[in-house]
Amino acid sequence: MVDIRPILERELDAFIDLMDVAYLQDSTKERRDHYRTINELDRSFGAFDGGQLVGTISAYSFDLTVPGERTVPMGGTTVVAVRPTHRRRGILRGMIDIHLDDVRRRAEPLAGLWASEATIYGRFGFGCAIDFVTFEIRSDATTITGPIDDRVQVRMVDKVEFAEAAQRFYDSIRLFRPGELTRTPAWWKARRLAQASFGDSGMSSYRYALAERDKQLVGYLHYRTKEVVRDGVPRGEVHVAELLGLDADVELAFWRFLFAIDLTTAVRAPFRSMDDPLLHRLDNRRAVKTSVSDGVYLRFMDVTKALEGRTYSVPGTLKIEVTDHPDLRGTYRLEVKGDGTARCTQADGAADVSLDSQTLAACYLGGCRVCAMARAGRVAGSAASIRLADLMFDNQYLPIAREIF
Ligand SMILES: CC(C)(COP(=O)(O)OP(=O)(O)OC[C@H]1O[C@@H](n2cnc3c(N)ncnc32)[C@H](O)[C@@H]1OP(=O)(O)O)[C@@H](O)C(=O)NCCC(=O)NCCS
């Protein structure tokens, strides 16, 4: 009989060790220390078989940026793991039930996660809302076209200066793009600024840079390099950890800086988006390979609060039927005013559009268009209602999956 309960502080090392077994890693003191600083003990549950820990789940308390420069509280589901001796006995299902009850109790309208395998979480109501996009650029085969604001200055800095500036800058722009998440100082320390020593063979330490315009901080960049020599020819690589600017000029100034690093011929940048201006400013579009995969999954916990949480691109009234999951199923009336803000209530009668909760999650942040989902057979309704829904949910930015949590 497996018992699922909150873990105790003294069980945290065993918790981390089990997570590392499941994720095919070795526990090290460094990994444990990093994880301890960001773990939320009161959101961490263990599955116990007798005295043995056989399953783990936890959550981070995030605010997720949604369209309209607003945020919605989100339980960030994490460290889901089951001991290999206990797999496929329903332990994950039991832990997810308890975890989602906890998210609901905390009145967070959304849960969200990164999936180790894309086939696991749909059954629990999670749908992919943000794509994970990676750029692989042959920086020796392309240049950036057109002017870049020459007031933008890129300056390499040390980690101390970077840490303060990057946190300040991230907080100042966090509301602009859907998908951004709150980052606590502990998060910055353990996740963004940690000099990870695992799985990084051949990489340099992190390098740090800031961008300034008229003495104002307008962006930050951190990256590593890897020395590669083939047939006596230098073919080094640049690996971007994060490149973030106030506008396209700032980011283009960073890209130009990276492309020009001597002895390198390639830049690899994960966590980008398909509406990145860079893609439209290269003289050789074929020099950048974009790979798109599933990134952040969302699960509605409270449809009315989540739908009211964002703003919409056009006004109108739409009755939306959600067809699955007992806690979500029903019809919701979404009334969007001229300023884009919305009121959402439970409703009766025939709906204008009908879709499952995974499809609603896919469209919620504007990552996937309602009309595309309708063509895929995942939204039912009249052509006019689908068009209205498509325009309402559309947003000027694609959402971004900035890091795995
Ligand atoms: C993925 C993992 C947590 C599943 O745990 P588990 O206890 O074996 O899962 P359960 O027995 O509760 O399975 C629940 C359901 O999910 C399905 N499922 C479980 N693992 C799955 C997988 N890897 N792929 C697809 N479906 C999966 C089961 O078939 C079952 O489906 P059903 O109830 O609809 O029949 C476990 O295999 C594990 O720790 N894997 C390594 C670490 C990992 O990938 N963690 C997830 C991080 S996001």
Question: Does the Cβ of 91 fall within 6 Å of ligand 1?
Answer: yes
Amino acid at 92: L
Same-domain status, 150 and 279: yes
**In a 3-state reduction of DSSP, which class is residue 212?**
strand
In this prediction, residue 71 carries a pLDDT of 98
On whether residue 307 sits in a domain, the answer given is yes
The CATH number covering residue 55 comes to 3.40.630.30
For residues 64 and 70, give the distance between their C-alpha atoms in angstroms, rounded to a whole number.
8
Candidate of 78, 85, 93 to mutate for ligand 1, largest count of ligand atoms within 8 Å of Cβ: 93
In this prediction, residue 202 carries a pLDDT of 85
Atom of ligand 1 nearest to the CA of 121: 16
Domain that holds residue 326: 302-393
Same-domain status, 246 and 157: yes
Report pLDDT digits (tens) over 303-344.
999 999 999 999 999 999 999 999 999 999 999 999 999 999
Report pLDDT digits (tens) over 379-395.
999 999 999 999 999 99
On whether residue 73 sits in a domain, the answer given is yes
Same-domain status, 307 and 354: yes
Same-domain status, 149 and 278: yes
For residues 395 and 9, give the distance between their C-alpha atoms in angstroms, rounded to a whole number.
43
For residues 32 and 166, give the distance between their C-alpha atoms in angstroms, rounded to a whole number.
25
Burial of 196 (0-12, 13-18, 19+ CB in 10 A): middle
Question: Does the Cβ of 2 fall within 6 Å of ligand 1?
Answer: no
In this prediction, residue 95 carries a pLDDT of 98
Question: Does the Cβ of 90 fall within 6 Å of ligand 1?
Answer: yes
Residue 348's alpha-carbon distances to 149, 332, 345, in angstroms, are: 54, 8, 10
Pairing verdict, β 353-355 and 316-322: parallel
Percent of the chain with pLDDT over 90: 95
pTM listed for this prediction: 0.97
Same-domain status, 165 and 273: yes
Amino acid at 368: C
- Neighbour count for residue 178 (Cβ, 10 Å): 26
360 and 380 in contact (C-beta within 8 Å)? Answer: no
Same-domain status, 168 and 276: yes
Model confidence band, residue 1 (pLDDT cutoffs 50, 70, 90): confident
Residue 6: beta bridge partners? 45
Distance 182 CA to ligand 1 centre (A): 28
On whether residue 131 sits in a domain, the answer given is no
For residues 40 and 107, give the distance between their C-alpha atoms in angstroms, rounded to a whole number.
17
Question: Does the Cβ of 54 fall within 6 Å of ligand 1?
Answer: no
Question: Does the Cβ of 120 fall within 6 Å of ligand 1?
Answer: yes
74 and 300 in contact (C-beta within 8 Å)? Answer: no
On whether residue 138 sits in a domain, the answer given is no
Burial of 109 (0-12, 13-18, 19+ CB in 10 A): buried
Question: Does the Cβ of 93 fall within 6 Å of ligand 1?
Answer: yes
Last residue of a domain, one of 283, 315, 333: 283
Distance 103 CA to ligand 1 centre (A): 20
Distance 81 CA to ligand 1 centre (A): 9
Last residue of a domain, one of 84, 108, 132: 108
Same-domain status, 245 and 308: no
The CATH number covering residue 312 comes to 3.30.1050.10
Distance 120 CA to ligand 1 centre (A): 6
**In a 3-state reduction of DSSP, which class is residue 45?**
strand
Distance 119 CA to ligand 1 centre (A): 9
Atom of ligand 1 nearest to the CA of 23: 42
> Is the confidence at residue 198, as pLDDT, over 80?
no
Atom of ligand 1 nearest to the CA of 92: 12
Atom of ligand 1 nearest to the CA of 116: 48
Same-domain status, 6 and 69: yes
User: Which strands form 342-347's sheet, in the order they lie side by side?
Assistant: 342-347, 330-336, 316-322, 353-355, 379-381
In this prediction, residue 200 carries a pLDDT of 66
Mean pLDDT of the chain: 96
> Is the confidence at residue 197, as pLDDT, over 60?
no
In this prediction, residue 194 carries a pLDDT of 86
CA 161 to chain centre: 26
391 and 259 in contact (C-beta within 8 Å)? Answer: no
Tokens standing for 157?
């800095």
Atom of ligand 1 nearest to the CA of 82: 39
For residues 111 and 72, give the distance between their C-alpha atoms in angstroms, rounded to a whole number.
10
On whether residue 328 sits in a domain, the answer given is yes
Residue 83 φ then ψ, to 5°:
-60, 135
Same-domain status, 275 and 309: no
Report pLDDT digits (tens) over 49-60.
999 999 999 999
Report pLDDT digits (tens) over 152-162.
999 999 999 99
For residues 364 and 185, give the distance between their C-alpha atoms in angstroms, rounded to a whole number.
29
Residue 66: beta bridge partners? 70
> Is the confidence at residue 195, as pLDDT, over 80?
no
Residues 6+ apart with CB under 8 A from 2: 47, 48, 49, 54, 55, 86, 89, 91, 94
Last residue of a domain, one of 213, 248, 283: 283
Domain count, the chain: 3
On whether residue 137 sits in a domain, the answer given is no
Same-domain status, 221 and 315: no
Average pLDDT over residues 370-384: 98
Model confidence band, residue 356 (pLDDT cutoffs 50, 70, 90): very high
Residues 6+ apart with CB under 8 A from 295: 114, 128, 130, 131, 132, 133, 401
Distance 257 CA to ligand 1 centre (A): 44
On whether residue 45 sits in a domain, the answer given is yes
